[in-house]
Amino acid sequence: MKKPELLVTPTCVEDIEPLINAGATALIIGEQRYGLRLAGEFNRGEIVKAVEIAHARNAKIYVAMNALFHNEKIAELGEYIAFLRDSNVDAIYFGDPAVLMTAREVAPDIKLHWNTETTATNWYTCNYWGRKGASRSVLARELNMDAIVEIKENAEVEIEVQVHGMMPMFQSKRSLVGNYFEYQGNVMEIENRKKEKDMFLFDKERGNKYPIFEDENGTHIMSPNDVCIVDELEEMIDAGVDSFKIEGILKSTEYIVEVTKIYRKAIDLCVENRDEYEDIKDDLLEQLEGLQPINRPLDTGFYFKETVY
């Protein structure tokens, strides 16, 4: 039985080595100009450095180019993909076919992971993009466990799922909050990552806070809870799901490292010693609950319920 990749999202170059030491086998990075909802901003020099560090430790680096591109950025894509090719990144994440078509021209051997966050809901769609050139499909967050297992059984490509962290609920390419402040005559920075500048939508009826942040790609509203299935990995591991992702958006380095350690232990035991995994998985869940901010409880997302749109 193979072990799934443990994919994490570092906030900076300095995170790379600690996360690999914690058990990560792949990391996804990028810059806002081309990638959506990144845990941290990596310029070109930092991407080169990240690849050097990761490859020396037998880990992989993926770069996000999963934004939706307008005409004015199309001319840039070839040069950026060529840079990623020359930097020896292990794969590019894309959602826009413009990235796939450009990669075919300038870097036909580079691996492509199809990631639209929402539309990978059946194996026909995954296989369609596989036959176009993608080697992996990132499944929609709204799928339950049965659907994920069924897709993996019929997929011709690798399958990636999110196992921990907040999930995106809404995106607008407009800077909705920034435009509102500007209308009021105020000035607000586009990038809103500092903790003292966090913004929330508050649902008084349910007592939920939905984190908001804005970047070059617009406004993003995130889930009020963090998904966590550290105690429910068996079915997906048995089905052969290829990659488990820990989402580190709006999380500290310390948090991501500790979560990575716990999932590393869970995956290893689930593959190598299933009985011991069954014995300690509740303890692993308790450890993760102890890391959570009081306003962000853990839940199992859509894994064990039908999707409601």
Q: How confident is the model at residue 202 (pLDDT cuts 50, 70, 90)?
A: low
Would the pLDDT of 28 be above 80? Answer: yes
Tokens of 50: 């990240």
Compute the distance between CA of residue 50 and CA of residue 191 in angstroms, rounded to an integer.
Answer: 22
Q: Where are the alpha helices (DSSP H) in the chain?
A: 16-22, 44-56, 71-86, 97-106, 123-132, 145-154, 176-183, 234-239, 253-272, 274-291
Asked if residues 6 and 25 have their Cβ atoms less than 8 Å apart, the reply is: yes
Between residues 15 and 177, the one the model is more confident about: 15
| pLDDT tens-digit series, residues 207-236 | 566 666 767 776 767 666 889 999 999 999
| Widest pairwise Cα distance in the chain | 61
What is the mean pLDDT of the segment spanning 229-256? 95
